[in-house]
Amino acid sequence: MRARLLALVALLAACTPPPGPTLPTPTVDPRGATDPVNQLAVPALRAHAATILADLVRSLPADRRARVAGVMLLHDNALGEVNAYATCARDATPIVAISDGLLLIAAHLAQTTATDERFATHQKSDYLAWLHAHDRRAPPPGFYLAAYRDDHEKLLRQREVFDEQVAFIVGHELAHHYLGHLGCDGKLDPVVHVADGVPLFDQATELAADIAAVKNLLTAGHDRPGYAWTEGGALLVLAAFHHRTPRALETILTAFNRTHPLPALRMPLITTTADLWRVTGELPL
């Protein structure tokens, strides 16, 4: 009888799933109430994007840095809520433009990614699904869990993720300037087409800008205190655009007539570029 009981206990123990990981207890940081990523504070996000652009420019080799001297960051919402591009001012000053809508998407992706990593939630996938289904940058009310929103470690991590995304976005547009894809000096590259003042590039130049942007952000982030930028932000941005891209067969068949390659084609290139950068120890561009 005792042997049977022990066998039953052993069987029950074998069928009982192991306990899940112990989640951390949220540590409320009062700075969460003023954190620009938490609060989606557009003016502060704009100012921070300008700081990131300056960091990217400083990390460029002298010849490329000279080509983007005096570059301006423009917050242009006229062409749609989610947009970024490179162009030239009338006085030939290089311009990098990013819309408020794109900054806000980056902020939401940063919050959801940091929450998932810290508390094993699935908010990023939920947000991407919402973005795809509703084509709106803001998730529904009550989407964010109040218990996690102001956690200290989550606040630190979401700033890292936000910075990486913005570094790729503005770094990509900056690359169009120093790679010679625009003619801010009056000599327009033949592969560039201009419509209503906004350049449209072919696929080759877009991929070249992706590669240069990844190298630029990895170089700029290499010596940052505490945390060095990775390609994770670039992949996160493209994941968001992937969810906004129609899945229809027509989209696949006409992909090479689009101004940008499909995100599914750009993401492996970004990963490979970052891997090679780390293997070769390449710091200069």
Residue 91 contacts by C-beta under 8 Å, 6 or more apart in sequence?
none
- The answer to whether 32 touches 155, Cβ cutoff 8 Å, is yes
> Comparing 89-103, 128-142, 229-243, 252-266, which segment has the lowest mean pLDDT?
252-266
Higher pLDDT, 2 or 139: 139
Give the percent of the chain with pLDDT over 70.
Answer: 76
For the ranges 74-78, 176-180, 255-259, 281-285, the lowest mean pLDDT is seen at: 255-259
How far is the C-alpha of 45 from the C-alpha of 224, rounded, in Å? Answer: 19
**Separation of alpha carbons 84 and 257, rounded Å:** 19
Q: What is the pLDDT of residue 3?
A: 59
Residue 186 clears pLDDT 80, i.e. is over it: no
The pLDDT of residue 179 is above 90: yes
pLDDT of residue 77: 84
pLDDT at 269: 92
Q: What is the DSSP string of 92-160?
A: --EEEEE-HHHHHHHHHHHHHHHHHHHH---HHHHHHHHHHHH--SSPPTT-S-HHHHTBHHHHHHHHH
- Averaging pLDDT over each range in 130-139, 221-230, 260-269, which range is the top one? 221-230
Answer whether 110's CB lies under 8 Å from 165's CB: yes
Give the pTM.
0.83
- How far is residue 254's CA from residue 197's CA, in Å, rounded to a whole number? 24
In this structure, are residues 81 and 99 in contact, taking their beta carbons and an 8 Å threshold?
yes
List all residues 6 or more positions away from 171 whose beta carbon is below 8 Å from its beta carbon.
56, 212, 213, 214, 216, 217
- Name the residue with higher pLDDT: 90 or 109: 109
